[in-house]
Amino acid sequence: MTEHVATNETILVVGGGISGMTAALEAAETGKNVVLVEKNPALGGRTSQLYRYFPKLCHPTCGLEINLRRLKGNPRVRVLTLAEVTGIEGSTGNYTASIKIKPRYVNENCTACGDCERAVETMVDDPFNYNLGQHKAAFLPNAMAYPQRYVLDPVIIGTPDAEKAKAACKYGAVDLDMQEETIQVKAGAVVWATGWQPYDAAKIQPYGYGRFKNVITSVEFERLADIHGPTGGKILRPSDGKEAKNIAFIQCAGSRDENHLRHCSRICCMASLKQTHYVREKFPEDGKSTIYYIDIRAIDRFEDFYQKVQADPSVSFIKSKVAKITEDAQGNPVCHGVDTEGYKRYMTPHDLVVLAVGMEPSVKGINIPGHIVADSSGFIEADPANGAVFGAGCASNALDVNRAVQSATAAALRAIQVVNKVAKAEA
Amino acid sequence: MSANTAMAEKYRNNFLKEIEDQVEMGDWVKMCMQCGVCSGSCPTNFQSAWEHPPQELFMMIRAGKREEVLTTSSMWNCTSCYNCIVRCPRKLPITHIMHGIAEYAHRLGMAPKMQPTRFFSGLFWKNCTHTGRVNELKLSLGLYFKDGFAQGVKNGMAMQTVALGLLKAKRLNPFELFGGHKCKDQKGIQAMLKKAYEIERSRKTAKMAG
């Protein structure tokens, strides 16, 4: 895979989430050669970590599968996983990227049979489940991982566990001698689609994330609801494994806050409205959701989605940003604040509090050439000064899946125009 | 001025403009987005005296409720703990605005006369500017007798053990009641304060005149 020859007519796509996959495929389907770089062992990014997505509440596996089918059938896209861009040099039409590729310790012979996983005993944290659970140190990153190939966690290399994995493999796929390598890739244009990361909720000190076990983030809640998640799709609270039926959602946890993220993260209102559906789905009789909000921003044309949730008697809305969370003797998180509608104080215990954390761009600490113009929140701006480095998806703005795909298609089009010029195909 | 700003200016009511002009940090009031974190974070909020929490005061100002805002005792209950400033997502200097509104209400003579914070502030200022030193005995006695002689004696009796303890530890000198200690240059302090009053008065009069 690494011997692939890239030229300055190649488009480099950094990030293999929904935006990066889209940009890569859109460009490849017009006949361009694309190198798609993903730092995780599998494609799909944060979209693959969702249980369902709004507004139709279908499973992300569906949308991702369509993209994976396109990808498998397209020889023009070269996928590099466990790979990170460490630097880019050059200018429009002539970039050279340094890409560091970490060893996977499993080669192309892997059939994903799972024998190595059964042989290995060491357990490690599972980042796919936001470390809510653990998995074996020989693992498939997730159920629909692409490439469908196992990975050995570096912690077992040099231990008897690694030898066990090697011995268990019938196909000679485990290669313990793989080394980290850095390769140079040429490209005419770069699509930067490194996505987002959930804002570090521990920084919102009064909410007690990290101190109170039953205060979790919205992304963690997605994993609790997912059948492939650490609880097998049951909403159980972390402190005692009790079913969490009375759930509070706190909006703007980190967003729209000059002390944290100054932008509106856009997706969180819709995400919490969506998550109230999970509560009703799992506990149709006695599930109860409470949304604490400043104002509901059902972005795009989703006001009807909001109205349907409003009509649901199991969901209540409290117009107030929670000021602080404490914990009572039973381990229930208690929300304190003042309701803006009537200015009444409340102190309300819940089984579980879900912080609708904001989106922070992951464009950090990477040596992108020149002066990449970013806005005050760190999202890449569409600016001529950026040359042929184009932001796409959540690297460029706080976007939902739908809009991220639109943004990625736009970025692909810009990149195509650049390499066409390089090829003298366009004036 | 952009069309937007012009339109916003048109609909900004007179009381909000008055607060912006007259109150220290008053121009921040319009930035409040009514999230309620200030009110929820206020340690005095569980006392009945907080008739209107800060976010409500800001909304009342924007709604033009001049009389209600300036005569309420709410902002006088601020303890300057700064929780609200630290947590405000819009970085409003809420503590300072509370003091600013209180000071403006006082300047207009609309603040509740016997509100303890206001009463104590007046007492404290008089006490320390008189000699250039704080006379703690006179200050606490003044506060004890705020609500009449009988209540004053009652307050004194309630604090008896504390007073005796202070006496024993030589932290309370009963002779302070007669004159008390002074700073070296009492006249200098007085002259300085007189000048300061003059400057402040001319500044505020100019402001009030618009």
Considering the domain architecture, whether residues B149 and B163 belong to the same structural domain is answered as: yes
Q: What is the pLDDT averaged over residues A170-177?
A: 96
Mean per-residue pLDDT, A378-388: 90
Q: Which residue of B has its CA nearest to A296?
A: B35
In CATH terms, the fold of domain A11-102+180-195+362-422 is FAD/NAD(P)-binding domain (3.50.50)
Interchain CB distance below 8 Å, A321 and B40 = yes
For residue A100, the cross-strand partners are A84, A182
Same domain, residue pair B89 and B120: no
- Tell me, yes or no, whether B181 and B123 share the same domain: yes
Last residue of a domain, one of B112, B146, B176: B112
Helix or strand (DSSP H, E) at A259 = none
Residues B70 and B126 in one domain: no
The verdict on B48 and B139 lying in the same domain is: no
The pLDDT score that the predictor gives to residue A1 is 44
Q: Are residues B14 and B106 in the same domain?
A: yes
**Cβ contact B55–A321 (<8 Å):** no
- Per CB-CB distance under 8 Å, the chain B contacts of A339 are 36
Question: Do B182 and B103 have their domain in common?
Answer: no
Q: Are A315 and A323 in contact (CB under 8 A)?
A: no
What's the pLDDT at A2?
45
The dotted CATH code for A200-358 is: 3.50.50.60
Distance from CA of B141 to the nearest CA of A (A): 36
- Cβ–Cβ < 8 Å for A42, A145: yes
**pTM of the predicted model as reported, rounded to 2 decimal places:** 0.91
Provide CB contacts within 8 A for A423, sequence distance 6+: A9
SS3 assignment, position A291? strand
Domain shared by B120 and B91, yes or no: no
Q: Compute how many other C-beta atoms are within 10 angstroms of the C-beta atom of residue B142.
A: 18
Query: For residue A294, what is the nearest residue in chain B, using CA coordinates?
Result: B35
CB contact under 8 A, A338 and B55: yes
Q: pLDDT tens across A335-369, in order? A: 999 999 999 899 999 999 999 999 999 876 566 66
Q: Do A258 and B91 touch (CB under 8 A)?
A: yes
Q: Which of B112, B127, B159 is the last residue of a domain?
A: B112
B81/B90 Cα distance (integer angstroms): 18
Q: Which residues of A4-26 are buried (b: 16+ CB within 10 A; e: fewer)?
A: eebebbbbbbbbbbbbbbbbbbb
Per-domain boundaries in chain A: 11-102+180-195+362-422, 115-168, 200-358
Q: A11-102+180-195+362-422 and A200-358: same fold?
A: yes
Is the pLDDT at B46 greater than 70, yes or no?
no
Peptide bond into A55 cis (omega under 30): yes
Tell me the two tokens of residue A43: 């494609």
A332 Cβ contact partners less than 8 Å away, ≥ 6 residues apart: A214, A349, A350, A351
Inter-residue contact B59 to B35 (CB < 8 Å): no
Counted across chains A and B, CB pairs separated by less than 8 A come out at 62
B123/B97 same-domain check? no
3 state SS for chain B = CCHHHHHHHHHCCHHHHHHHHHCCCHHHHHHCCCCCHHHHHCHHHHCCCCCCCHHHHHHHHHCCCHHHHHHCCHHHHCCCCCHHHHHCCCCCCHHHHHHHHHHHHHHCCCCCCCCHHHHHHHHHHHHHHHHCCCCHHHHHHHHHHHHCHHHHHHHHHHCHHHHHHHHHCCCCCHHHHCCCCCCCCHHHHHHHHHHHHHHHHHHHHHHHHC
- Give the whole-angstrom CA distance, residue B104 versus residue B101: 5
Domain endpoint, select from B63, B96, B112: B112
Q: In this structure, are B97 and B32 located in the same domain?
A: yes
Q: Do A343 and B33 touch (CB under 8 A)?
A: no
Nearest chain B residue to A253 by CA distance is B89
Asked if B40 lies within 8 A of A345 by C-beta distance, the reply is yes
The tally of domains found in chain B comes to 2
Q: Which residue is it, tokens 């309370």?
A: B172
Of B33, B53, B91, the CB nearest to A338: B53
B8 and B102: one domain?
yes
pLDDT of A426: 56
Q: Are residues B12 and B95 in the same domain?
A: yes
Note the helical H segments in A302-400: 303-310
Query: In the structure encoding, which two tokens stand for residue B106, read together?
Result: 């006082």
Per-residue pLDDT reduced to its tens digit, A91-122:
999 999 999 999 999 999 999 999 999 999 99
Residues from A contacting B (CB-CB < 8 Å) are 206, 252, 256-260, 294, 319-324, 336-340, 343, 345
Q: What is the CATH number of the domain that holds B57?
A: 1.10.1060
Please state, in angstroms and as integers, the Cα–Cα distance from residue A88 to each residue in A94, A186, A190, following that order. Answer: 10, 9, 9
Domain extent, residue B26, equals 3-112
CA of B5 vs chain A CAs: smallest distance (Å): 22
- The pair phi, psi for residue A53, each rounded to 5°, is -125, 155
What's the pLDDT tens digit per position in B132-168?
Answer: 999 999 999 999 999 999 999 999 999 999 999 999 9
Q: Residue A321: CB partners within 8 Å, gap ≥ 6?
A: A250, A251, A252, A292, A293, A294, A337, B35, B36, B37, B40, B89
pLDDT tier at A324 (50, 70, 90 boundaries)?
Answer: very high
Say whether B53 and A343 touch across the interface (CB within 8 A): yes
Q: Which of A259, A319, A336 sits opposite B40 (nearest CB)?
A: A336
Which token pair is B17?
């403009």
